[in-house]
Chains A and B, each alone.
Chain A
Amino acid sequence: MKPYDAIVIGGGHNGLVCAAYLARAGRRVLVLERRERVGGAAFSEQVFPGFTFTVYSYVVSLLRPEIIRDLELPRHGLHVLPLESTLTPLANGDHLAQWSDHDQNRRALARHSPRDAEAYDEFGRTLHQMARAVKPLLGMVPPDPASLAPGDLAGLARLARHFRGMGRGVFHALHKLLTMSAADYLDEWFESEALKGTKSASGIIGTLLGPRSPGTAYVLLHHYMGELDGVFRAWGFAKGGNGSVSAAIAAAARALGAEIRTGTPVARVLVESGRATGVALESGEEIRAGRVVSSADPRRTFLELVGEAHLPGELVEAVRRFRFRGASAKVNLALDALPDFTCLPGPGAHLRGAISISPSVEYLERAYDQAKYGEFSRRPYMDIVIPSMIDPSMAPPGKHVASIFAQYAPYRLNGGWTDARREALGDAVIDTLAEYAPNLKSIILHRQVVTPADIERDVGLSEGSIFQGELSLQQLFSVRPAPGWSKYRTPVEGLYMCGAGTHPGGGVMGAPGRLAALTMLGARR
C-alpha cells in the first residue's frame, strides 16, 4: 500500500481541518485520535438521555468562512446559527440588553445612559476599523521580524504597507488597544457599569487575567472581526452543538480521502537523524509517513510526543515558559423548563442570545482576585447560552439545555481539583445564577461540571487551557508558540504543528489547521 504522506496527531477541529486541506491537495493523510470520537474540545454528547451537551466548549467564534466554502461544510451538515443578543441581568432586578438591531440596541442602552447609546456607534466604528487593520495578520503565516529571509522580509513589507495605508489615527488607536486593559479602554468610551462589565468580559475569556490587566483590551477586537468576513456576528452556535462542527469537517476530510482512526493514542513521534518519520502508537504499532503534523498543544507536542532530546534547549525553555493557565469551567445543565429571569420574566427573545453575568468591571475583577490566590470565584463571571432555544433539537421537545461558561476556575487550585471541589464549583455557579433566575434549582434534571483538570485529562489540553495557551500578546503572532517557530514548522524536519497553540490561536476558528496545511503544501499566503 502507498505510504502516508502525512499523519495528523489529534482529531480536534484543527487537526481535521489540516487533514482535509492536505487530502484536498491529493495527499494521503491519516488522522490519529486518542478518544473514541473525533472533535477534541469541539465535541457534543448526549450526557443525559435526550439532551445534547457541547461538553467542553460552547459557541463558534470566527470559524473561517473560507474553510466553510473550501471544504463545503454545509453539505456535510454544518449550520452556524447566529447568537443575536446579550442580556446582562443586574442584582437590583434591572437588566442591560444588547441587540443586533441598531434601533432596538440604542433604546436598550439609552435606558442606562443616553451618552453610551451614542458612543456605542462610534466605538463600533473604531473597532471595525481596527479589526480591519489587524485582520490580515489572522489570515497570514506570521513573518519573523528578526529574520532577514526574503519570505519574512516580503511579509513584513506587506504588513508595513498595510499599516501605513490605515492612517495615523487608526494606528494610534490600535496601539492603545494593544497595551491597555479592557477596563481602562472601555472607561474611555462608556459610563454604564453593566455595559463596561459585559464588554470587558470578552477580554478575559480563557485567560487567567482580570479586566484591569494590561493587554486584555485587544481581545475586544475579536468581536468585530466577523463583520469583515460577511459573518456579521462574531459568535454563532452550531446546530447540534460544536460536535457537529467537528463531524462536518471529519465528513469533509473523509470525502476528500483522508483516513481517520479513533481510539488510537499516539505515544511518540518517531525521530530519526533529526527528521520525523512517523509515529509510535501506545499499542506499540509504528506507522510511517513523510510528514507528521501535531494538533496537540506545544507542551504535549514537544515535551511529551517528541522529547527534549531531539530539541534545541532554547525551544525547550520557551515551551516550558509558554503560559497555559486554564482558568475556565463549564457547567452543562439538562432543564425541565426554561430559566425564569427576575429581570425579564417568562420566555422571550432574550433567552435566544447570550446571558452574561457581568454586572460591572468590579464584579469581574473581584472574581479574578480569588483566582489570583488559587481559589475559584465564589461569584463567577458566566456566559450562558440556552442552545435548545436556538436549536430545539438539542433537547426533547419542550425541554432545554443550558451551557454555562464560568470563570475563574484556575487550573492550579489550592489543594488541587477533587470531585468535592468540582461539585463545590458547580454549586457556586448554580447559586450565583439562581440569584438572577430563582426557578433554576427546581428545573435542573442533570448537571455536568467540567473543570480545567477535567479538560486536561479528557481532551489533552495542557492545564485545561481552552486556547492551547493564553491569547496574551507575549505569545501571539510571530512568537506563537515560540520565537523563531511561529510558522507551523519545528526544529524536527518533517514535523509540523497545526493546533490552537500556533498562530492565530484558539476558538473554533480552524485557521491554524488551514494555515499549517497551506504551509506544508508550500502555498504562499
Chain B
Amino acid sequence: MLRTTPFHARTAALCASHAWRRWAGYVVASSYELSHDREYHAIRSAAALLDVSPLCKYLVAGRDAARLLDRMVPRDVSRAGIGQVLYTPWCDAAGKVLDDGTIARLDETVFRVTAAEPGLRWLEANAAGLDVSIEDTSDATAALALQGPSARDILERACGADLAGLRYFRLTAARIAGHPVTISRTGYTGDLGYEIWLDAADALPVWDALVAAGTPYGITPAGMLALDVARIEAGLMLLDVDYVSARKALIESQTSSPYELDLGWTVDLGKETFVGRDALAAEAARGPAWRFVGIAVDWDSFERLFAEAGLAPRVPLAAWRTSVPLYGDGGQVGYATSGVWSPLLKQYIALAHVEARPAAPGPAREREGTREHRRRRAAAHVVKKPFFDPERKRA
C-alpha cells in the first residue's frame, strides 16, 4: 500500500483537485487547486509550502562520519563547516552517478544525508571498517519546503528568529510552535527558500504555525506540478527523469557521469580517494561525451509550425518527462528529458543532453515535437541555465 506523509491530514483536506502523485512509495499532492498555475506563481511571487517528506533521509554519526561521506561523494565533505549543506551527486566505481542529494553537517560528527532513492545499503557498503552509525530516518523525519520571495519573512515570524544571517546552503536550529526544527536555506525551486526538517510527530502543529504566519503574506500550499515547472526553470535535474541511476541502468549508455550532467563543479579531483575517482580523473582528462544543457524553443519557428496546420501554438503548461530528440547538422545530436512552458519567462524551455562533439557552444538545434498528431521540428537554442536565477536566491 502507498503511504501518506505526516502532513496528510492537512494536505488531504486542501486537495480540491483530488490529484495525487506517487513519490518514493508515498502519495503527495500533484496540485491542490484545480490547476497548478497559482501554486507555481506563489513560488515566484509570494511563498509556496511544499510537503517534501518522501525524500530519503539518513543520519550518519560517529567519529568517522565525515570520512565515510568524503569517501562516498566527489565533493570535499571534510571541508564542510558545521551548519553547512552540500549538494552533491555520488557515483559507482565507474564514475557513473547513482543518485544526487544533500549532505548537511549538523555537528562535527553528525550528518544528515538526503537522497532521491533509498541509499542505506550503499552507505553501509562504504562504511566497512569505519566507526560510524547509519540510521534511516526517512519515516521519522518530516520535511517541508517553504519557497519564494516571502519565505524569509514568513519563517522569521513562525520561528521568532532573525534569519537574515542564514546564508545560502547553511542551516540553523530553531523552534516552530515550540517544536524543535532544523531550517536549511535550500530548495528545489531556484528561488529564495528554506527546507524545514522536523520530527514526524510534530508535523501538524508546525504546518499550522507556518500557514498561520504565512497567510498575510500569501503562503500557498503547492504540489508537485508547480514544483516541476520551477525546478526546470532553475535548471535542476531529477533522477529517473533527466538521468538514470547507474544502479538501475541496463546498458552503459544509460548511465551518466557528473561531468555529463553539468556537475563537474562537484568533483574534487584534489581529494585523494573517493568512489569513482579514477574513472572521473580519466574522463576529466579526455573530456565528457555529453553535456547537460538548457534549451529554449524559438517562438517564431514554433508558432509557424502550428500556423501551417491552421492552429494557434499549444504550449505545455505542465512539465513533460519524455525523451524528445534534438537535431543538429547531420542528424540527431541529443535528447531533451524534461520541458515546460515557463509562465514567468514566456518561453518554452527544456533540459537536454547533447553530444559534446567538437566544442560547439550554443549552436542552433532543432527540437522535435508533436503537432496535430505528426512529429515536426521547431528551431531551438542552447541557452544558459538556470533559465531563471533571481538574486534573492543567494542574497
**A454, CB-defined interface residue at 8 Å:** no
A81-B41, A392-B218, A397-B217 as given contacts; A65 in contact with B46, CB under 8 Å: no
Which of A74, A82, A228, A392 is the one whose CB lies under 8 Å from B46? A392
Whether A230 pairs with B313 at a CB distance below 8 angstroms is yes
In whole Å, how far is B114's beta carbon from the nearest beta carbon of chain A? 29
A261: which B residues are within 8 A, CB to CB? none
Whether B345 pairs with A81 at a CB distance below 8 angstroms is no
Whether A391 pairs with B37 at a CB distance below 8 angstroms is no
Whether B45 pairs with A239 at a CB distance below 8 angstroms is yes
A74-B388, A82-B41, A398-B216 as given contacts; A165 in contact with B310, CB under 8 Å: yes
Which of B46, B313, B348 is the one whose CB lies under 8 Å from A391? B46
Whether A392 pairs with B217 at a CB distance below 8 angstroms is yes
Whether B216 pairs with A228 at a CB distance below 8 angstroms is no
A100: which B residues are within 8 A, CB to CB? 35, 37
B317: which A residues are within 8 A, CB to CB? 232
B46: which A residues are within 8 A, CB to CB? 391-393
- Kindly count the residue-residue contacts between A and B in the assembled complex, taking CB atoms under 8 Å apart: 60
Whether A230 pairs with B315 at a CB distance below 8 angstroms is yes
Whether B346 pairs with A68 at a CB distance below 8 angstroms is yes
**B344, CB-defined interface residue at 8 Å:** yes
**A101, CB-defined interface residue at 8 Å:** yes
In whole Å, how far is B310's beta carbon from the nearest beta carbon of chain A? 7
Whether A132 pairs with B312 at a CB distance below 8 angstroms is yes
**B341, CB-defined interface residue at 8 Å:** yes
- Smallest CB gap from A240: residue in B: B45
Whether B341 pairs with A230 at a CB distance below 8 angstroms is yes
**B321, CB-defined interface residue at 8 Å:** no
- Smallest CB gap from A132: residue in B: B312
CA distance A156 to B317 in the complex (A): 35
CA distance A82 to B34 in the complex (A): 15
CA distance A303 to B37 in the complex (A): 47
- Smallest CB gap from A65: residue in B: B346
Whether A392 pairs with B150 at a CB distance below 8 angstroms is yes
CA distance A84 to B36 in the complex (A): 12
**A104, CB-defined interface residue at 8 Å:** yes
- Smallest CB gap from A233: residue in B: B37
CA distance A393 to B149 in the complex (A): 10
A82-B41, A100-B35, A239-B45 as given contacts; A227 in contact with B345, CB under 8 Å: no
CB within 8 Å of A: which B210-230 residues? 216-218
CA distance A380 to B218 in the complex (A): 31
The size bracket of the interface on B is 20 to 34
**B67, CB-defined interface residue at 8 Å:** no
In whole Å, how far is B303's beta carbon from the nearest beta carbon of chain A? 8
**A84, A230, A239, A352, most chain B CB atoms within 10 A:** A230
Q: Mark B352-392, 1 if CB is under 8 A from A, else 0.
A: 00000000000000000000000000000000000010000
A81: which B residues are within 8 A, CB to CB? 41, 45
**A168, CB-defined interface residue at 8 Å:** no
Which of A65, A101, A392 is the one whose CB lies under 8 Å from B299? A65
The size bracket of the interface on A is 20 to 34
Which of B38, B44, B150, B346 is the one whose CB lies under 8 Å from A231? B346
Whether B347 pairs with A228 at a CB distance below 8 angstroms is no
Whether B345 pairs with A228 at a CB distance below 8 angstroms is no
CA distance A103 to B345 in the complex (A): 28
**A300, CB-defined interface residue at 8 Å:** no
A101-B35, A392-B217 as given contacts; A74 in contact with B345, CB under 8 Å: yes
**A13, CB-defined interface residue at 8 Å:** no
- Smallest CB gap from A135: residue in B: B312
Give chain B's interface secondary structure class: loop
A65-B299, A79-B344, A104-B34 as given contacts; A391 in contact with B312, CB under 8 Å: no
Whether A391 pairs with B38 at a CB distance below 8 angstroms is no
**A66, CB-defined interface residue at 8 Å:** yes
CA distance A66 to B344 in the complex (A): 12
A84-B38, A165-B310, A392-B218 as given contacts; A69 in contact with B345, CB under 8 Å: yes
Whether A68 pairs with B345 at a CB distance below 8 angstroms is yes
B345: which A residues are within 8 A, CB to CB? 68-69, 74
**A128, CB-defined interface residue at 8 Å:** yes
CB within 8 Å of A: which B312-327 residues? 312-313, 315, 317
A82-B37, A82-B41 as given contacts; A74 in contact with B310, CB under 8 Å: no
CB within 8 Å of B: which A35-76 residues? 65-66, 68-69, 74-75
B37: which A residues are within 8 A, CB to CB? 82, 84, 100
A397: which B residues are within 8 A, CB to CB? 216-217
Whether B216 pairs with A392 at a CB distance below 8 angstroms is yes
CA distance A165 to B45 in the complex (A): 41
CA distance A82 to B36 in the complex (A): 12
A398: which B residues are within 8 A, CB to CB? 216
Which of B34, B35, B299, B313 is the one whose CB lies under 8 Å from A69? B299
A101: which B residues are within 8 A, CB to CB? 34-35
CA distance A232 to B150 in the complex (A): 26
Q: Mark A389-402, 1 if CB is under 8 A from B, else 0.
A: 00111000110000
CB within 8 Å of B: which A229-268 residues? 229-232, 239
CA distance A398 to B217 in the complex (A): 8
B313: which A residues are within 8 A, CB to CB? 228, 230
A392: which B residues are within 8 A, CB to CB? 46, 150, 216-218
CA distance A472 to B45 in the complex (A): 36
B348: which A residues are within 8 A, CB to CB? 230
- Smallest CB gap from B46: residue in A: A392
- Smallest CB gap from A389: residue in B: B218
Whether A393 pairs with B150 at a CB distance below 8 angstroms is yes
A104: which B residues are within 8 A, CB to CB? 34
Whether A82 pairs with B312 at a CB distance below 8 angstroms is no
CA distance A100 to B218 in the complex (A): 20
Whether B312 pairs with A128 at a CB distance below 8 angstroms is yes
**B315, B317, B344, most chain A CB atoms within 10 A:** B344
In whole Å, how far is A457's beta carbon from the nearest beta carbon of chain B? 33
- Smallest CB gap from B34: residue in A: A101
A74: which B residues are within 8 A, CB to CB? 344-345, 388
In whole Å, how far is B126's beta carbon from the nearest beta carbon of chain A? 42
CA distance A364 to B343 in the complex (A): 34
CA distance A474 to B317 in the complex (A): 38
- Smallest CB gap from B44: residue in A: A79
Q: Mark A484-502, 1 if CB is under 8 A from B, else 0.
A: 0000000000000000000
A79-B45, A82-B37 as given contacts; A230 in contact with B346, CB under 8 Å: yes
CA distance A436 to B20 in the complex (A): 38
A232: which B residues are within 8 A, CB to CB? 317
Whether A69 pairs with B346 at a CB distance below 8 angstroms is yes
Interface pairs (28), CB distance under 8 Å:
A66-B299, A68-B346, A69-B346, A69-B347, A74-B344, A74-B345, A74-B388, A79-B44, A79-B344, A82-B38, A82-B41, A84-B37, A101-B35, A104-B34, A132-B312, A165-B310, A227-B312, A228-B313, A230-B313, A230-B315, A230-B346, A352-B38, A391-B45, A391-B218, A392-B218, A393-B150, A397-B217, A398-B216
Report the 4 A-B pairs with minimum CB-CB distance, sorted nearest first.
A397-B216, A65-B346, A392-B218, A101-B34
Given contacts A74-B345, A79-B344, 15 further A-B contacts (CB under 8 A): A66-B299, A69-B299, A69-B347, A74-B344, A74-B388, A75-B388, A84-B37, A228-B312, A229-B346, A230-B341, A352-B38, A392-B46, A392-B218, A397-B216, A398-B216
